[in-house]
C-alpha cells in the first residue's frame, strides 16, 4: 500500500520524533511504500497567501506552490498523521497543510452548494498524537484534533474507510513504562496496517 506519512514536530530528539521513526520503520518493514513527509524538514510554509485565498475555488494547476503536495496526496492509498497536540489543536504547520493542500478539487468538490468528498484514493487513516495534558482535560475542551480526524478527514476519504486515532495523553507526567507501552501500541497498529 502507498502510505503518505504527515509528520509535524520541529525537534528531532522529541518523543514525537521517536514515534515518527517507529511509524515509518514498521510500515516499511511490513512492505508498504512510504512517502515520509516531514513538514518541518521540508520547510513547508503553512501560510495561506492572499492569492491562494482569492483563487481558492479555482482549478489547481501544476505551477501552484503546493502542487507537489497535492500530487503526493493523490498518489497515496492511506494516510498516517504523526503530531503533538498544542493548545488543543494541530501544530500550525499541520493545520496550514490542511488549509493549503486540502482544497476544492483536491479533497472535495462543491456540487450545488454541497461538499462532495474526492479523496477516494485514501482507504485508511491513522493518527498518532501526543498530548501534554490529560484525556479529561482534552475531553473538556472537546478534543478538537480527535474530532477533526474522526469527522473532517473521514468525510473527505473513501466512504466506510477505517479511521483510527492513537493518543498518548498526559505526556508531561509520563514514565518510561507508559511511553514504551504507547510505542508498542503504535508499533502493533503499524504492523497490522
What structural domains and CATH numbers belong to the chain?
A: 2-191 (3.40.50.360)
Mean pLDDT by 10 residues, the chain (193 residues): 98 97 98 98 95 84 87 97 96 97 90 90 98 93 94 93 97 95 98 95
Sequence-ordered list of residues with C-beta below 8 angstroms from that of 27, at least 6 positions apart, any chain: 3, 5, 34, 80, 190, 193
User: Which set of grid coordinates corresponds to residue 26?
Assistant: 514498521
Residue 61: its pLDDT value, please? 74
Task: Please state the φ and ψ torsions of residue 114, each to the nearest 5 degrees.
Answer: -110, 145
| pLDDT at residue number 24 | 98
Q: Which long-range contacts (CB under 8 A, 24 or more apart) does 172-180 make?
A: 172/132, 172/133, 174/15, 179/15
The number of beta carbons lying within 10 Å of the beta carbon of residue 63 is 6
Closest to 6 (Cα-Cα) out of 76, 105, 65 = 76
Instruction: Report whether 145 contacts 89 (CB < 8 A).
Output: yes
Q: Is the pTM of this model over 0.85?
A: yes
Amino acid at each position: 500500500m502507498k502510505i503518505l506519512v504527515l509528520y509535524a514536530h520541529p525537534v528531532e530528539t522529541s518523543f514525537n520524533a521517536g514515534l515518527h521513526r517507529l511509524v515509518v520503520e514498521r510500515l516499511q518493514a511490513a512492505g508498504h511504500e512510504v512517502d515520509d513527509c516531514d513538514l518541518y524538514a521540508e520547510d513547508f510554509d503553512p501560510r495561506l497567501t492572499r492569492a491562494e485565498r482569492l483563487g481558492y475555488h479555482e482549478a489547481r494547476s501544476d505551477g501552484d506552490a503546493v502542487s507537489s503536495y497535492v500530487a503526493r496526496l493523490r498518489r497515496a492509498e492511506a494516510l498516517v498523521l504523526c503530531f503533538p497536540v498544542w493548545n488543543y489543536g494541530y501544530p500550525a504547520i499541520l493545520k496550514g497543510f490542511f488549509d493549503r493542500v486540502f482544497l476544492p478539487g483536491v479533497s472535495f468538490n462543491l456540487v450545488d452548494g454541497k461538499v462532495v468528498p474526492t479523496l477516494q484514493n485514501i482507504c485508511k487513516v491513522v493518527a498518532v498524537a501526543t498530548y501534554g495534558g490529560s484525556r479529561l482535560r482534552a475531553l473538556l475542551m472537546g478534543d478538537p484534533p480527535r474530532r477533526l480526524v474522526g469527522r473532517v478527514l473521514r468525510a473527505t476519504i473513501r466512504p466506510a474507510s477505517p479511521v483510527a486515532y492513537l493518543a498518548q495523553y498526559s505526556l508531561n507526567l509520563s514514565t518510561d513504562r507508559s511511553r514504551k507501552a504507547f510505542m508498542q501500541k503504535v508499533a502493533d497498529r503499524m504492523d497490522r496496517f
